[in-house]
Amino acid sequence: MDQREFREYIDWLRAGGYTVLHDITGSDPDLITPEGSAIDTWRDDYPYDNRLDREAYEAEKYSLQVELIKFQDWTRETGTRHIVVFEGRDAAGKGGTIKRFSEHLNPRYARIVALPKPNRRERGQWFLQRYIEHFPTAGEIVLFDRSWYNRAGVEPVMGFCSPDDYQRFMREAPALEEMLIESGTSLTKFYLAVTRNEQRTRFAIRQLDPVRRWKLSPMDVASLGKWDEYTAAAERMFEQTDTELAPWTWINANDKKRGRLNAMRAFLDKFDYTDKDPSVVFAPDELLVKRGRDTLRTLAP
């Protein structure tokens, strides 16, 4: 589906009486048909028959957020440093997952970094330079809402960098991450995935829902016809930057609630922090969470 086809699709939805329905919390809306049923594209290639219900989700989320607070206290006490990178498909839920990670943390010691496109000065710098200045100090957690991996995905697919720039980045990123980790900073790299039809549904919700329209950027719409190109870019990224020191964690996020919980659990499971509760923190769901390089499949070049 390209930009023109998407606009026609939105016009068809409006003319047909499709609406957006919010749940009681005002989040995670559904696209509703004129007959009153929810569009269920989340079912595509999904291993569960039902999405996680709100009550179970809220209980698990609360328990995991308590663990995140324990983790932050331990981070401050030990003076450790932590970076969490959130990448993935457009509309896969990166922002929502980051919100649940951070909403009860002390903002003095936990920062979200979401950089805009580089300005003129930054375009003249070494590409990785503007990201490095946001790396954490002792006792701090930094969450990157997209990251230096823009150069592995958006930029080559949309033609914003040269092939030489791209190849240089793919050599430099693993080297930088090795130095970062060996210096004592932990690095967690998440890639949130959704299916093509589910992405289209979420884009439609953003277009039809006035309070979410800002989430649908011109770049999102421009990328609609480049699904296969983004798939190939992600696979090359996993092949070249999923290392033993800094692996990628791939999460099926067709069900946003399960995706968020599994991201929090996968992160916390890596660390032996004080008072860790093993009844809450354990290995994430292996049906939904995989190592990046284990998701590779062959695509035509």
pLDDT tens, residue by residue, 35-68: 999 999 999 989 999 999 999 999 999 999 999 9
CA pair distance 206, 228, nearest whole angstrom:
22
pLDDT level of residue 284 (50, 70, 90 thresholds): very high
Both structure tokens of 285 = 């769901």
Task: Give residue 297's pLDDT.
Answer: 61
CA pair distance 30, 49, nearest whole angstrom:
17
User: Collapsing DSSP states into helix, strand and coil, what is residue 30?
Assistant: strand
In the predicted structure, residue 299 carries a pLDDT above the cut 50: no
In the predicted structure, residue 2 carries a pLDDT above the cut 80: no
pLDDT level of residue 229 (50, 70, 90 thresholds): very high
pTM (predicted TM-score): 0.94
Contact 289, 253 (CB under 8 A): no
Average pLDDT score over residue span 250-268: 98
What domains, with CATH codes, occur in the chain?
Answer: 3-295 (3.40.50.300)
Could you read off the pLDDT of 199-218 as tens digits, one per residue? 999 999 998 988 888 877 87
In the predicted structure, residue 236 carries a pLDDT above the cut 80: yes
Both structure tokens of 210 = 């006035």
Residue that the structure tokens 């033609």 belong to: 159
Average pLDDT score over residue span 59-86: 98
Non-local (6+) Cβ contacts of 219 within 8 A are 90, 154, 158
In the predicted structure, residue 71 carries a pLDDT above the cut 90: yes
Q: Give the side-chain half-sphere CA count within 13 A for 203.
A: 25
